[in-house]
Structure 1
Amino acid sequence: MHIRVQNCNNVWASNLIIRAPGDSPNTDGFHVTHSQNVFITNNIIGTGDDCISIVSGSKNIRATDIICGPGHGISIGSLGQDKSEAQVNRATLKGSTNGVRIKTWQVN
């Protein structure tokens, strides 16, 4: 992972360029877990894995004006568990294997 945001509150990450070869494994650009109020804006991310991965326990995560590729796209996982929530706006994906993947938990 290039940048891991874990157990954080009020994070702004903007105007960054993150690059790794398209065939490099486990090179997430941003990995966000158990954090809240994280704003990832105006970034160029090209990796061999997810440009952005957002996982369990994360709330009010916003990714805006992202250029992603190469990579696996943007993955939002484990939503619904611990009332997690995330939002992606204005993302351009070029040469990514996926678009935006959303993985959810069934909530009773």
Structure 2
Amino acid sequence: MVHIVINGCENVDVQGVRIIAAGNSPNTDGIHVQLSKNVNIIKCSIKTGDDCISIGPGTKNLWVEQVTCGPGHGISIGSLAKDLKEEGVQNITVKKTIFLGTQNGLRIKS
């Protein structure tokens, strides 16, 4: 379902990672981040059938730069608020990222 999960972590650097899954493979998120802070995802290539990077509740200070993303859904923030007491996300930065053949590019799911 997910290649890399960053859950409940602090001060994580993911750099130079290459993730490949078939473009028609469902639920194959490349990197999922939730309940974590100070995470950097830099110079990665993520080709999956779902989200390149999925950003879940409780994510704070996420920096995404120079990522090549696609095919798939792109980078997704959400689905948030499944639970009324769920934490939101704060300070998400995406820079110099290339979306190739994605359905959405960068999206916020609510």
Work out whether the TM-score is over 0.5. Answer: yes
How many residue pairs match? The answer is 103
Over aligned residue pairs, what C-alpha RMSD do you find?
1.4
1:21 to 2:18 alignment? no
Distance in 2 separating the partners of 1:20 and 1:84: 27
Identity %: 48
Kindly state the Cα deviation for residue 25 of structure 1 after the two structures are TM-superposed: 0.8
Identify unmatched segments of 5+ residues in structure 1: none
Instruction: Please report the TM-score for the alignment, with normalisation by the length of structure 1.
Output: 0.89
Residue of 61, 85, 95 corresponding to 1:89: 95
Instruction: Please report the TM-score for the alignment, with normalisation by the length of structure 2.
Output: 0.88
4+ runs of 1 displaced by more than 6 Å?
A: none
- Aligned residue for 1:71? 72
2:28 alignment partner, SS class: coil
1:51 alignment partner, SS class: strand
Identify unmatched segments of 5+ residues in structure 2: none
Kindly state the Cα deviation for residue 83 of structure 1 after the two structures are TM-superposed: 4.9
Distance in 2 separating the partners of 1:63 and 1:92: 11
1:44 to 2:49 alignment? no
